[in-house]
Amino acid sequence: MSIPRTIKQTATLIKKREVSPTELTDLFLERISVQDEKINSYITVWKKAAVEAALMAEKEISRGNYLGPLHGVPIALKDIFVTKNSRTTCGSKMLENFVAPYDSTVAEKLIASGSIILGKNNMDEFAMGSSNETSYFGPVKNPWDTDRVPGGSSGGSAAATAANLCIASVGTDTGGSIRQPGSLCGIVGMKPTYGRVSRFGMIAFASSLDQAGPLTKTVEDTAIILSSIAGHDPLDSTSVNLPTVDYASALSSDIKGLRVGIPKEYFVSGMDPEVEKSVREAIVELETLGAEIVEISLPHSRYAVSTYYIIAPSEASSNLARYDGVRYTYRCEEPESLRDLFFRSRSEGFGDEVKRRIMLGTYALSTGYYDAYYLKAQKVRTLIIRDFDRAWEEVDVIASATSPETAFRIGEKAEDPLKMYLSDILTIPCNIAGLPGISVPCGFSSEKLPIGLQIIGKPFDEQTVLNIAYAYEQSTKWYEKEVASLG
């Protein structure tokens, strides 16, 4: 039996009783056991739990208790969402053996929808990275070319989805960590508006920036997962109490009259010419579909990366202070004193990139430097938000490339953190302003590497973002391209 690619296809087969959840789960588990050693997209595979969940789904569906399009569908979770009775590592030695006593809200909602969770995907350590090379469990490889990175930090989720080692996955996006790997792996990745999806039980990196979202093969699948995980959660103080809709049912490919803004600052110097060509062709396609193209300016976007790398490390410094070797984290052997316990546990438990960002953040928050760095960064953040606010007076969405380049080779930027940080130059402003954004495939380079088109929308207007992406996707069919083989 061939494995279906999308949630929609899988749900149709399950409803028609042409395939059972147990058959599907067995197929995916077998495929993971054979293929994942080539890309390293999973940290933990839930063999027993997935089979048990599939049997339960099968029984419920046979009784007529069909829960919806995710019922019986095998998916995966980035290893940043805590899950009851199963370890959550966050890609770090610090949490290598951490088992939470509860489920994150995202995991809870997906389980309630009847999804079969196959396991937890590999990721950059504590979500800090743009290449998935910082994981304690080894780098993830791009299924289109295993010598290249899949993007990060949700690289394992993107690679597993692209390689059909799960139907879809849910990741997190702090500065582009869903959209950038989605672009580099040739799939759809969406960051909802900040506050649209609960962060409860999602291990924190930068609390004012982090947001969970889907990684799927089609826009419709993204809409299906978003409908499942979105909504107010009283356990998360940043969760917004606004109504959600069935995003998939409301999808429309009619975008006539919608105004698409093209920020001149987003076609940056140094952008890969093939990326620019594909994105400009995508913009022409949107115009052909009836959208009005409007050139706009987001002048303070040039400061977004600098702003992000003060705010995010500062919040990380605060959030990661809890990992002290005393409670539920890695603990060094035979500490000589309490100071030695703290020092060696954190030195041995954290990787280089995490240490780098903790030090950056601690410095920016320190006495005498807080006003010069953190406070100033927050003021620039306000200017970036105001740029977007002015843009919304002229346009309905904003379009650009997702990443200025295609997937680079593993190790290529390992010795140059600043060059690595610029990988997110086009995605970071969306997080700083808390806006919804999506990446949808828009072509391939001469080396047959995927290229992504980014659509950014107004706060809590995920539906318009999805509609624009859906119209483009259905018109161009780039999503039909599959990874031929893992090599």
- For the stretch 425-481, pLDDT in tens is 999 999 999 999 999 999 999 999 999 999 999 999 999 999 999 999 999 999 999
Confidence of residue 234 (pLDDT cuts 50, 70, 90): very high
**Mean pLDDT (whole number) for 100-122:** 98
Q: Which of 8, 78, 120, 191 is catalytic?
A: 78
Checking if the pLDDT of 485 tops 80, the result is no
Burial 301-329 (b: 16+ CB within 10 A, else e): bebbbebbbbbbbbbbbbbbeebbbeeeb
The domain ranges of the chain are 7-258+470-480
Q: Is 345 a catalytic residue?
A: no
Q: Establish whether 264 is a catalytic residue.
A: no
Overall pTM > 0.95: yes
Confidence of residue 487 (pLDDT cuts 50, 70, 90): low
pLDDT of 71: 98
pLDDT at 486 over 80: no
- State yes or no: pLDDT of 307 exceeds 60: yes
When computed from its CA atoms, the radius of gyration of the chain, rounded to whole angstroms, is: 21
| Coil/strand/helix, residue 258 | coil
Residues in the chain: 487
Chain centroid offset of residue 298 CA: 24
| Active-site hit among 20, 104, 131, 153 | 153
Q: Could you give the CA distance from residue 429 to residue 176 in angstroms, rounded to a whole number?
A: 9
Question: Of 104, 113, 177, 183, which is the active-site residue?
Answer: 177
**pLDDT > 60? residue 327:** yes
Enumerate the β-bridge partners of residue 44.
120
For residue 268, pLDDT over 80 is answered with no
pLDDT (mean) for 348-365: 97
Active site residue 78: yes
Phi, psi of 20 (to 5 degrees): -105, 155
Confidence of residue 1 (pLDDT cuts 50, 70, 90): low
pLDDT in tens, 175-199: 999 999 999 999 999 999 999 999 9
Choose among 149, 158, 157: nearest CA to 130: 149
Q: What is the mean pLDDT of residues 330-341?
A: 95
C-alpha distances in Å from residue 140, one per residue of 73, 160, 205, 414: 24, 10, 20, 14
Q: Which CATH architecture has domain 7-258+470-480?
A: Alpha-Beta Complex (3.90)
Q: What is the pLDDT of residue 422?
A: 86
How much of the chain, in percent, has pLDDT values that exceed 90? 94
Report the chain's mean pLDDT, rounded to a whole number.
96
pLDDT tens-digit series, residues 402-426: 999 999 999 999 888 888 888 899 9
